[in-house]
A and B are shown apart, each in its own frame.
Chain A
């Protein structure tokens, strides 16, 4: 019998696996960097602090760029944007995907057919090109970038939720709830969605990584918000000096890599913790 104290918490389960522990450590570092950016670098990421093209591990930890801006400051402030975009875009995607997928899976019939045709429409658009077009048309502001990422990414999640809801809806306890006179919405929200939650959480956690990559890609192409320092923008700006100042592209590149890796590792650990049957 499991008592409450013996039941391992989700966090402890994640930390007990090596992948989860490494992922958590990396992500915590990035989050702390983002939180304390303005304390560590009160002058901001755009301030010219010294001579241009200073190599890393000297006067400045990560060196300076061609305008003499501190790259370490850029990394810290860029972490804020990456995490913000990842979190907000994922929130929008999960909300949209769960509502559309949940209703389609629960009601079936023409609602399902209509919802699935709409998701197919979105799935046929090449995602990254779709995001580029949306940002190019609406203008490169942070809300537009987040919106564009959400618009091109919600459809697969909606289909996933729909499939899961359909399978849970076919189970006998849902029929039992109907026979007790519970309403559709109540059954969907109180009875079915908790059974689908682990799938949503795992898919959503991986979505954060994808969203961060999308934002970096857009900024790299010059479609980022020009008033905000982001990792993608730093890579794009440093590209012209890659042969003389390798650190200008490498360091933000490593930042993107480690953050995305951390979130993927956590996603895997979450999957294992929430779905014991997936263990080999």
Chain B
């Protein structure tokens, strides 16, 4: 475990969406977590479990008309950014906390030269001259491993490959040396070889800049290789949090165990000499506005008992150091 003081500390975060005029339902519910400098926290879970909602909540990027930050604090180096105004929040976005999006094809402006797009972010936050911003954007492109950065800076996104574009997106995110980088499935749209390069790049820059990284993914292989800690989310709640070694040696929440069991394993096929069917988790994530009083995973859980349907499990620290929200986690399966 990283003993240093966390750079980002989120306490009891609850984000709600509007259901009708007066009623709201939570999409992120009572989530606590923290990230330290130089550390990567992976957030995993299926589609629709609230990972991206959580990321957008941190930056308050959700549309104000239909969503609200209902409760909780977001401490960024001793400052509670959950309480900031939109104007103050703008100064935080891209400067203190940056985000890398999933699709490098669409997250760049097609009509602006890539060097200019990096420079825009620098000018926005540091108000330096255009020449200075241009010089720095070329240096950033060099930092993220783009060959001939001065030439590439004058090119448009369509002239670059997917991997190069994602490097540009990362360069934009890192332009003002953020304290926290949120990478929302940064490699999902890239092929496997490029994926490793991009993740290695993020890992290297994390140490160089000394930032904390929140890596949102559903690829447990990526988690095992690049993260120090894992947080599993289900239906807007944190269900398990542990460091990577503890997590992969035996996840305690039935959902985490099921996620891990559903990872394709080529060796199992080869060793057994026959193709084994992939384990799947039956059912889907329940709609967030139709959650019952009990554990939201109960109806898909192999180990659910009557109590699971009636009572919401709280996060508890287990003997191996993992924090798990399951009423039956202490029992032996």
User: Looking at the complex, which of A17-25, A40-48, A181-189 is the stretch in contact with chain B?
Assistant: A181-189
- Is the Cβ of B106 less than 8 Å from the Cβ of A172? yes
Which residues of B sit under 8 angstroms from A172, Cβ to Cβ?
Answer: 101, 103, 106-107
- Asked whether B106 lies within 8 Å of A173 as measured between CB atoms, the reply is yes
CA distance A276 to B121 in the complex (A): 31
Cβ-defined contact, B65 with A191, below 8 A: no
Assess A186 versus B65: contact at CB under 8 Å? Given A173-B108, A180-B98, A181-B90.
Answer: no
Would you list which residues of chain A between 1 and 29 have a CB under 8 Å from chain B? Answer: 1-2
Report the minimum CB–CB distance from B297 to chain A (whole Å): 30
* Residue in contact with B109 in the complex, picked from A179, A186, A191, CB distance below 8 Å: A191
- Residue B59 lies at the interface, judged by CB distance under 8 Å to chain A: yes
Query: Residues of A contacting B252 with CB < 8 Å?
Result: none
Checking B89, B94, B106 against A180 with a beta-carbon cut-off of 8 angstroms, the contacting residue is B94
Rounded to whole Å, the gap between the CB of B45 and the closest CB of chain A is 21
Residue pair B124, A179 in contact (C-beta under 8 Å): no
Per the bound structure, the CA–CA distance linking A195 and B112 in Å amounts to 9
- Name A178-220 residues within 8 Å CB distance of B: 178-183, 186, 190-191, 194-195
Beta-carbon contacts under 8 Å, B43-69 to A: 59, 61, 65
Would B169 and A176 count as touching, CB distance under 8 A?
Answer: yes
Does the CB pair A178–B61 fall under 8 Å?
Answer: yes
Minimal beta-carbon separation of B91 from chain A (angstroms): 6
Closest to B97 in A: A179
B residues 109-134 near A (Cβ < 8 Å) are 109-112, 120-121, 124-125
Known contacts A173-B109, A194-B112, A195-B109; is A181 also within 8 Å of B101 by CB? no
**Residues on the B chain within 8 Å of A180, using CB:** 93-94, 98, 120-121, 124, 172-173
Would you call A175 an interface residue if the criterion is a C-beta within 8 Å of the partner chain's C-beta atoms? Answer: yes
Determine whether B95 belongs to the interface, using a CB cutoff of 8 Å to chain A.
yes
- Contacts A176-B169, A195-B111; is A182 near B124 (CB within 8 Å)? yes
CA distance A190 to B90 in the complex (A): 17
Complex CA–CA separation, A175 to B108 (angstroms): 10
Q: What residue of chain A has the Cβ atom nearest to residue B169's Cβ?
A: A176
Quick one: given A172-B106, A191-B112, A195-B109, are A179 and B59 in contact (CB under 8 Å)?
yes
- Is A126 among interface residues, defined by CB-CB distance under 8 A? no
CB distance from B255 to the nearest CB of A (A): 29
CA distance A175 to B106 in the complex (A): 10
A194 vs B111: C-alpha distance in the bound complex, in angstroms? 7
Q: Is the CB of A181 within 8 A of B61?
A: no
* Contacting residues, chain B, for A183 (C-beta < 8 A): 90
Which residues between 141 and 189 of chain A lie within 8 Å of chain B, taking CB atoms?
Answer: 171-173, 175-183, 186
Task: Indicate the size class of the contact surface on chain A.
Answer: 20 to 34
Q: Is the CB of A109 within 8 A of B65?
A: yes
| In the complex with contacts A181-B91, A181-B125, A175-B110 CB distance below 8 A | no
CA of A1 to CA of B159 in the docked complex: distance in angstroms? Answer: 7
Given A172-B103, A172-B107, check contact A181 B92 (CB 8 Å).
Answer: yes
Of listed B89, B109, B159, residue having the most chain A CB within 10 A = B109
Of A175, A179, A182, which is in contact with the most chain B CB atoms at under 10 Å from its CB? A179
Point out the residues of chain A lying under 8 angstroms from B159, CB to CB: 1-2
With A171-B106, A172-B106, A195-B109 as contacts: A179 and B121 at CB distance below 8 Å: no
Chain A: minimal CB distance from B161 (Å): 13
> Across the interface, do A179 and B125 meet the contact criterion of CB distance under 8 Å?
no
Taken together as a complex, chains A and B put the C-alpha atoms of A225 and B169 apart, in Å, by 57
Q: Does residue B138 face the partner (Cβ distance < 8 Å to A)?
A: no
Across the interface, which residues of B come within 8 angstroms of A109, CB to CB?
A: 65
**How far does the Cβ of B8 sit from chain A's closest Cβ, in whole Å?**
16
Interfacial chain B residues near A173, Cβ < 8 Å: 106-110
Chain B residues closer than 8 Å to A194, beta-carbon distance: 109, 111-112
Contact partners of B112 in chain A: CB under 8 A: 191, 194
Q: A179 and B94: CB pair below 8 A?
A: yes
Q: Which residues on the A side are within 8 Å of B106 (C-beta)?
A: 171-173
The A-contacting residues of B in range 142-195, CB under 8 angstroms, are: 155, 159, 169, 172-173
Complexed CA–CA distance, A123 and B61 (Å): 36
Residue in chain A with minimal CB distance to B121: A180
Shortest distance from the beta carbon of A202 to any chain B beta carbon, whole Å: 16
B120–A190 contact, CB under 8 A? yes
Given A176-B99, A177-B109, A180-B98, 18 more pairs with CB closer than 8 A = A1-B155, A109-B65, A173-B106, A175-B107, A176-B169, A176-B172, A177-B120, A179-B59, A179-B61, A180-B94, A180-B120, A180-B124, A180-B172, A181-B90, A181-B92, A181-B93, A190-B120, A191-B112
A–B complex contacts, Cβ < 8 Å, 21 sampled: A1-B155, A172-B106, A172-B107, A175-B61, A175-B107, A176-B107, A177-B109, A177-B120, A179-B61, A179-B94, A179-B101, A180-B93, A180-B98, A180-B121, A180-B172, A180-B173, A181-B91, A182-B94, A182-B120, A194-B109, A194-B112
- Leading 5 A-B pairs by shortest Cβ distance: A180-B94, A181-B93, A181-B94, A172-B106, A179-B99
